[in-house]
């Protein structure tokens, strides 16, 4: 029923401009030549308001110990394409930025900024993967990714309340929530319902003082928000509407060659999240029929060894989902490597097994490891490294600014480093393995 409703709502969409690069079966190809393409480049992600960099300025964004980058401009594009020899940007498109309010409309400033970036990339021959980036689900539960209004629809009774965890998550030591606020309802209630609750509430600030706090993604509110999209038709439709709207906005911008449906989804309900991917795919391709669409597993890890797949088949996926995966010619498997399995070559091998089983392409869309990138390149697998530059000034190390005087949100982890340290075509074998260390 959901797919029929989405298709009906999007019927009559205008024809899009053809993409020059797309997935065809298990390969990324140049459409005009039919030759295989290896996509490679950096991430550009803003993790808070205003959600996208501005296309202005004349200098390259360089990381320093105190710098914050606000723009993505001609100098950046030339640096990526000409100096580094890359041909790809993985660009974060944040749902809270695109749809700050509940409904079907999109923020015109966000869309204008997105289109400006795509025009710039098109002019420099840079392809773009649009990534619905987010960490630990929603601002309402101290993370970000899904809009606050979605969490309110999912579990209104938990907004501004002490964060709790249900089984099995509170029994898993690496996911156990530790908050200085405990069950102090007065502290948790501060700024309840504010879209920037994750930045403003003192309990959230404490939880996010370091790198990504995975426990935040497995709170009752976070999981309730995920379940709303997985099990409720209204939640599924909201997710599909987001992607349908983004596809409509980029239909005439061929630099946008593909989408990554959700960064590191925090849910164990595999059959349901693959159904959600299929609903979004239907909405996207109603506007851009040749758009490449990235699907992923929990946390975007290469988490299912080939022997498990061989014994358990598609691990609970419905026959309709499996048919969609194996019959589509435009899907790619998006995955990340941050140390699991310990040898990235093993992760690449597992992804290759899945590619063969489903007949899909793949892309390593996040890693900090040159070893992982070289393992991917060895089998002609496309990649994007994390990350290009620091788009934030909200963390203590970078000024502790708050909206409306801040740019981006660093509370869920940030990177120092030097943008010259990368796995460029000229990188030496002796180069440090970790590109950027948070």
CA distance 390 to 172: 32
CB within 8 Å of 385: residues ≥ 6 apart: 41, 42, 43, 366, 367, 368, 373, 422, 423, 435
Mean pLDDT over 59-85 rounds to: 88
Please tell me whether residue 332 adopts helix, strand or coil conformation.
strand
pLDDT for the residue 435: 40
DSSP one-letter string for 260-292? ES-SS---S-HHHHHHHHHHHHHHHHTT-TT-E
Give the model's confidence band at 424: pLDDT under 50 very low, under 70 low, under 90 confident, else very high. Answer: low
CB within 8 Å of 9: residues ≥ 6 apart: 241, 244
- Domain locations in the chain as residue ranges: 2-142+233-398
CA distance 352 to 95: 31
Count other Cβ atoms within 10 Å, centred on residue 312. Answer: 10
The CATH number for 2-142+233-398, chosen from 1.10.260.40, 3.90.550.10, 3.40.50.720, 3.20.20.80, is 3.20.20.80
* Out of 99-108, 176-185, 296-305, 373-382, least confident range: 296-305
Q: Could you identify the residue written with the tokens 């530059």?
A: 389
pLDDT for the residue 209: 81
- Give the H or E element holding residue 77: helix 74-78
292 φ/ψ sector (left φ>0, alpha ψ -120 to 50, else beta):
beta
CB 391 within 8 A of CB 407: yes
Residue 70 in this model has a pLDDT that exceeds 50 = yes
% of the chain beyond a pLDDT of 90: 70
Give the model's confidence band at 106: pLDDT under 50 very low, under 70 low, under 90 confident, else very high. Answer: very high
CA distance 76 to 190: 40
CA distance 282 to 262: 15
Question: What confidence tens digit (pLDDT) does each residue in 141-150 have?
Answer: 999 999 999 9
DSSP one-letter string for 163-209? P---TTGGG-GGG----TTTT-HHHHHTTTT-TTHHHH-HHHHHHTS
Residue 108 in this model has a pLDDT that exceeds 60 = yes
* Out of 85-89, 126-130, 229-233, 414-418, least confident range: 414-418
Question: What confidence tens digit (pLDDT) does each residue in 316-335 have?
Answer: 889 999 999 999 999 999 99
Average pLDDT value over all residues in the chain: 88
Question: What confidence tens digit (pLDDT) does each residue in 150-187 have?
Answer: 999 999 999 999 999 998 898 988 889 989 899 999 99
Question: What confidence tens digit (pLDDT) does each residue in 203-224 have?
Answer: 999 998 877 888 999 999 999 9
Closest CA to 230 of 358, 137, 329, 364: 137
Give the model's confidence band at 302: pLDDT under 50 very low, under 70 low, under 90 confident, else very high. Answer: confident
Give the model's confidence band at 436: pLDDT under 50 very low, under 70 low, under 90 confident, else very high. Answer: very low
Please tell me whether residue 407 adopts helix, strand or coil conformation.
coil
pLDDT for the residue 420: 43
Give the model's confidence band at 296: pLDDT under 50 very low, under 70 low, under 90 confident, else very high. Answer: very high
pLDDT for the residue 65: 65
Rg (CA), the chain: 20
Give the model's confidence band at 12: pLDDT under 50 very low, under 70 low, under 90 confident, else very high. Answer: very low
């Amino acid at each position: 029923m959901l797919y029929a409703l989405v298709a009906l709502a999007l019927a009559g969409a205008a024809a899009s401009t053809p993409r020059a690069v797309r997935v065809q079966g298990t390969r990324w190809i140049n459409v005009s030549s039919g030759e295989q393409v290896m996509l490679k480049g950096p991430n550009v992600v803003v993790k808070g308001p205003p959600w996208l960099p501005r296309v202005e300025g004349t200098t390259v964004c360089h990381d320093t110990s105190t710098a914050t980058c606000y723009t993505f401009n001609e100098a950046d594009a030339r640096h990526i394409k000409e100096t580094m020899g890359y041909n790809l940007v993985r660009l974060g498109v944040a749902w809270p930025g695109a749809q700050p309010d509940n409904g079907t409309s999109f923020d015109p400033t966000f869309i204008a900024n997105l289109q400006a970036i795509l025009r710039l990339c098109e002019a420099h021959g840079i392809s773009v993967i649009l990534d619905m980036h987010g960490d630990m689900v929603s601002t309402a539960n101290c993370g970000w990714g899904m809009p606050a209004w979605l969490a309110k629809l999912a579990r209104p009774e938990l907004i501004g309340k002490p964060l709790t965890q249900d089984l099995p998550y509170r029994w898993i030591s690496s996911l156990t929530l530790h908050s200085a606020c405990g069950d102090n309802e007065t502290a948790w209630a501060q700024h309840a319902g504010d879209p920037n609750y994750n930045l403003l509430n003192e309990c959230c600030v404490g939880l996010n003082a370091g790198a990504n706090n995975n426990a935040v993604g497995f709170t009752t509110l976070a999981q309730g928000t995920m379940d709303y999209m997985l099990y409720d038709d209204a939640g599924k439709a909201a997710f599909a509407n987001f992607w349908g709207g983004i596809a409509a906005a980029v239909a005439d911008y061929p630099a946008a060659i593909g989408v990554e449906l959700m960064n590191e989804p925090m849910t164990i309900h595999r059959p349901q999240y693959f159904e959600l991917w299929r609903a979004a795919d239907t909405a996207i391709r109603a506007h851009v029929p040749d758009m490449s669409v990235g699907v992923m597993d929990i946390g975007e890890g290469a988490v299912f060894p080939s022997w498990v797949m061989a014994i358990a088949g598609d691990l609970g996926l419905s026959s309709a989902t499996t048919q969609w995966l194996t019959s589509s010619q435009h899907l790619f498997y998006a995955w990340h490597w941050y140390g699991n399995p310990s040898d990235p070559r093993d992760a690449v091998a597992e992804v290759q097994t899945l590619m063969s089983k489903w007949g899909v392409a793949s892309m390593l869309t996040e890693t900090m490891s040159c070893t992982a990138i070289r393992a991917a390149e060895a089998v002609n697998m496309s990649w994007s490294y994390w990350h290009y530059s620091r788009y934030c000034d909200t963390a203590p190390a970078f000024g502790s600014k708050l909206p409306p005087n801040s740019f981006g949100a660093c509370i869920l982890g940030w990177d120092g480093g030097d943008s010259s340290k990368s796995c460029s075509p000229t990188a030496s074998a002796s180069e440090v393995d970790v590109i950027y260390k948070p």
